[in-house]
Amino acid sequence: MYEENELQFIVHEEGRLRIMQPVAAFNPPSNAVNYLQTQGNVLITGTKWGVWDYFIKDNLSNTRMVLTEEGHLQQLKCSMEDANANIKLEEEQLFGQPAPANEVANTRVNTNTTSWNENLSLKISQLKTAPNGNGKPMAVGPNTFLKVMAGDQLTGTAKYYYKNTGAVPNNGSILNNIVTSFISAISSGGTASAGIKDNSAALNTNYTAGNSPLNNFINTQPAPVQNTTPKAYLSILFFDEQFNYVAESSGAVMIAETAPNTIKTGSLVLNKPATKNGYVYMYLSNQSVSTPVYFDDFTVVHKRSPILEDNAYYPYGLKIDGISAKAALKPLNKYNYQGDYAEQDTETGYNEFDLRNFDPQIGRWIQIDPYDEYASGYVGMGNDPVNSVDPDGGSTEPDDWFARLNENGTLSLYQDYGNHDATDFNNYTNETYYNIGGDELSEKQAGAIGESRKNYLNTAQSINSGAVSIVQNGNYKCHPDNTYLNIERARILEEYSKLDHANGQIDFPQSRAWSLWNGYRSTSEEMMVNGKKYPPRSLIDDKGYIHDSQVPVGGTVDVGFAAPASFLKVTKGGSRIFEVGAYNKMRGVEAGLEAHHVGQKALMSKFITGYNKNIAPAILVPKLGHSLGFKVLSRNMNGFTNARQVLARDIFELRRVHQNIPNNSLQKLIQMNKTMYPEAFIK
């Protein structure tokens, strides 16, 4: 994946290989390897490295979570020193509000004004609720506000010094100081979400109220036994994605006590895990009015968990911001809704898919449907986002089968079902794929490899005369021009020439199945091999050779092509082909069969009020003739004025394509439609 000519990550079927820092391309004659253009593994020199990010998807390929193998340890340190202007500026930005209220600048005092002799640093932080050495009452000192994901580990440390004067410190309230500080961090920083920033005024009101959970937190912190010890702490507050206070994750550690009129030095250490996605505010404080406490070298270590993203969606793909989360300072992931690459316009909120723009707030496409699939050209996911996907803005129906020409010269078969899984050709953007659809497959032009099924002696003629639909660099094209594809045709022909045609080998072993009849691999139609005709159902053995013997007729199911390396399993006890029932009961019940709506769902939803495609009448039909192969059932959308016309057309089409369909199955379909939609069918 390139952006502005820089490699961002490499697409992989389980996720992505993200390059931490891309290596610049070298020009000869430097004799240096161009790692970005050399085939093979990604090699990165020096301190740069690659890490795998993994995408956890749901049944519709929506990216629900992104996990990483990257180990990320972030360390922030507030030394309080001001000799180096750059370090001074960075610390003030990381550990305090914008000026003039910056807690680092306003609490910074000289170390030599105290008796903290073993501290060799020049500057330290002085905290007390009365005016400090700078003439400013600063009860809350250096602090930091961070975005966290569930499983992150936070560790805070700080050195401290104070003198117990023997007087009662007269501890005061610091609630307003704390809230003002983190509200400022929300408003001025880039860590918090836009929704939380917009709600910062309400947060300020809620958290400064007398019944605020933060007030309870402050009042229940560990208290000193001696009333002469100041209440000084290193504290941490956790908030979830909606900025609700998370009490069980929050906590504080107090400075150690000492006898009156003695000096105490020590270190504070606070470890806390993030139990939820959200935010953390870690700070130093002293509630004493009269007894100052000095802090130095405040350090925060943030160890990241593997979670980069945690996403939730409304049905049509709008992210639920309140319960979705993304780790800070990580690259933007553009594979979200339906798992496909899509830019999101931050001004309009539209998702920019390959073919058109989508508005996830209303579930509608902004441009007309290029495939004219539904009655409305703008309907999103067929008005059924729970079951349908449309990852490029084209069609929610399964696409054709494609052959991939591998680097070693072999062919592999893939089918694009719209939800980009491991076998989707769009995942291999640098490969070329060849459509092997039947010679009458939809309105796309003939697939040459499909033609070669009929006569293997005519493979060369078929490849050189038929049009080939190809997918190249992720783009679908149909090329009827023979000369344009001479190279591609030659490569396919060379691959098929390796078959042992003379002895009846018609297929690469374990590469694909022409058909499965009663669980056996066989031909789906009459085939000519080496001058000899073989009838349908001729057996193909495991080495790809055709035989005179035929598979049994009983319980036959024609499932067309199967994916490489594994054959679909068909129950030998009899098929459920042409069984009638509700669509959600028929869908996916048997390999090789597909549930077919009768009447057509897009038209019936137009003519019948309250039509629900999930429970609508359907029949189990072979994949060949439905979404694959030739003699495809018609899905014409034009010329219909009522549901009866649609049903009549669909019954006719079933008889035309499946001439052996039982009459009782057709009668059940008609009766089921009449029963479910009486207003549409009763005259």
Alpha-carbon dihedral of residues 550, 553, 559, 564, nearest 10 degrees?
-30
* Average pLDDT, integer, range 441-466: 33
Burial class, 57, CB count within 10 angstroms (exposed 0-12 / middle 13-18 / buried 19+): middle
CA quadruple 632, 635, 638, 644: dihedral sign: positive
Query: For residue 267, what pLDDT is reported?
Result: 94
Tell me 664's DSSP state: H
Give the integer Cα–Cα distance in Å for 331 and 65: 14
pLDDT tens digits, residue range 50-97?
Answer: 778 888 888 788 889 999 888 888 899 999 999 999 999 999 999 999
User: In this model, does residue 300 exceed pLDDT 90?
Assistant: yes
CA distance 428 to 83: 55
List the beta bridge partners of residue 515: 522
CA–CA separation, 507 and 500 (whole Å): 9
Q: Which of 33-42, 379-388, 494-503, 523-532 has the lowest mean pLDDT?
A: 33-42
Torsion-angle region of 128 (φ positive above 0: left; ψ -120 to 50: alpha; else: beta): beta
- Whether 254 shows a pLDDT value over 90: the answer reads yes
State yes or no: pLDDT of 363 exceeds 50. yes
Task: Report the run of H or E that residue 293 belongs to, with start and end.
Answer: strand 293-303
- Residues 154 and 271: beta-carbon distance below 8 Å: yes
427 pLDDT more than 80: no
The DSSP call for residue 569 is P
Identify residue 216 by its one-letter amino acid code.
Answer: N
pLDDT for 546 equals: 75
- Whether the Cβ atoms of residue 569 and residue 515 lie closer than 8 Å to each other: no
pLDDT digits (tens, 9 = 90+) for 465-475: 444 444 444 34
Look at residue 135 in the predicted model and tell me its pLDDT.
55
H-helix or E-strand containing 218? helix 213-219
Residue 4 DSSP symbol: T
Is residue 78 within 8 A of residue 297, CB to CB? The reply is yes
Lowest-pLDDT choice from 29-33, 141-145, 193-197, 420-424: 420-424
The per-residue pLDDT for 279 is 94
The more confidently predicted of residues 169 and 627 is 169
**How far is Cα 351 from Cα 358, in angstroms, rounded to an integer?**
5
- Which among 160, 180, 155 has a CA at the least distance from the CA of 80? 160
SS3 for 63-93 is EEEEEECCCCEEEEEECCCCCCHHHHHHHHH
Q: Tokens 């009766």 appear where?
A: 671
Instruction: Quickly state the pLDDT bin for 403 (edges 50, 70, 90).
Output: very low
Which is higher by pLDDT, 217 or 387? 217
Bridge-based pairing of strands 278-286 and 140-148 is: antiparallel
Question: Where is average pLDDT lowest: 149-158, 397-406, 648-657?
Answer: 397-406
Peptide bond into 98 cis (omega under 30): no
End-to-end CA distance of the chain: 59
Predicted confidence band at 189 (pLDDT cuts at 50, 70, 90)?
confident
Residue 199 confidence (pLDDT): 85
Give percent above pLDDT 90 in the chain: 29
* CA-to-CA separations, 492 to 117, 439, 499, 557, in angstroms, rounded: 83, 17, 12, 29
pLDDT of residue 5: 54
Q: Strand (E) positions, 350-481? A: 351-352, 357-359, 364-365, 401-405, 411-415, 432-435, 468-472, 475-479
Q: What's the predicted TM-score (pTM) here?
A: 0.56
Domains in the chain and their CATH numbers? 1-71+308-321 (no CATH), 73-303 (2.60.120.260), 340-395 (no CATH), 397-479 (no CATH), 499-573 (no CATH), 580-681 (no CATH)
Q: Which has the higher per-residue pLDDT, 255 or 422?
A: 255
Name the token pair of 632: 């495809």
C-alpha–C-alpha distance, residues 457 and 528, integer Å: 7
Sign of CA dihedral 239, 245, 249, 252: positive
- pLDDT at position 643 over 60: yes
Kind plus residue range of the DSSP H or E element containing 326: strand 325-326
> Pick the residue with more confidence: 272 or 331?
272
> CA-CA distance, 322 to 347, in Å (whole number)?
19
Helix axis angle, 663-676 to 643-657, nearest 10°: 160
Least trusted range by pLDDT, from 71-80, 302-311, 375-384, 654-663: 654-663
Report the range of poorest mean pLDDT among 318-332, 345-359, 494-508, 616-630: 494-508
Burial class of residue 30, CB neighbours in 10 A (0-12, 13-18, 19+): exposed
pLDDT of residue 171: 75
Nearest to 324 by CA among 307, 339, 300: 307
pLDDT at 548 over 60: yes
Least reliable range by pLDDT among 168-177, 246-255, 562-571: 562-571
pLDDT of residue 173: 80
Rounded Cα distance, 487 and 480, in Å: 14
* pLDDT at residue 433, as a whole number: 41
Distance in angstroms (rounded) separating the CA atoms of residues 330 and 613: 41
**pLDDT for the residue numbered 53:** 86
Segment 290-305 mean pLDDT? 93
CA–CA separation, 219 and 671 (whole Å): 73
Residue 248: C-alpha distances to residues 236, 240, 430, 513, 516 (Å): 11, 12, 50, 58, 59
Looking at residue 420, its pLDDT comes to 30
282 and 154 Cβ atoms separated by less than 8 Å: yes
Give the distance between the most distant pair of CA atoms in the chain: 111
What pLDDT was estimated at residue 298?
96
Half-sphere exposure of 32 (CA within 13 A, CB side): 12
110, containing H or E segment: strand 108-110
Query: 586 pLDDT band (50/70/90 cuts)?
Result: confident
Is 60 exceeded by the pLDDT of residue 232? yes
Q: Is residue 577 over pLDDT 60?
A: yes
Strand pairing class (532-534; 546-550): unpaired
CB of 11 within 8 A of CB of 55? no
The residues, ordered by sequence, that sit 6+ positions from 664 with a Cβ below 8 Å of its Cβ are none
Per-residue pLDDT, averaged over 485-497, amounts to: 52
> Cβ distance 316 to 382 under 8 Å?
no
The pLDDT confidence band at residue 1, using thresholds 50, 70 and 90, is low
Task: Please provide residue 90's backbone torsions phi and psi, each rounded to the nearest 5 degrees.
Answer: -65, -45
Average pLDDT over residues 310-328: 90
Q: What is the pLDDT of residue 217?
A: 92
Instruction: Pinpoint the alpha helices (H) of 370-471.
Output: 448-451, 459-465
Angle (CA) 43 49 54, round 5°: 100
- Comparing 257 with 426, which gets the higher pLDDT? 257
| DSSP H or E segment with residue 251 | strand 251-254
> Which pLDDT score, from 0 to 100, does residue 602 have?
86
**Dihedral, CA atoms, 550, 553, 554, 557, nearest 10 degrees?**
100
d(CA 212, CA 195): 21
Residue 556 · residue 517 · CB < 8 Å: yes
Over range 422-450, report the average pLDDT: 33
By the 8 A CB rule, do 18 and 51 touch?
Answer: yes
Closest CA to 361 of 343, 352, 349, 376: 349
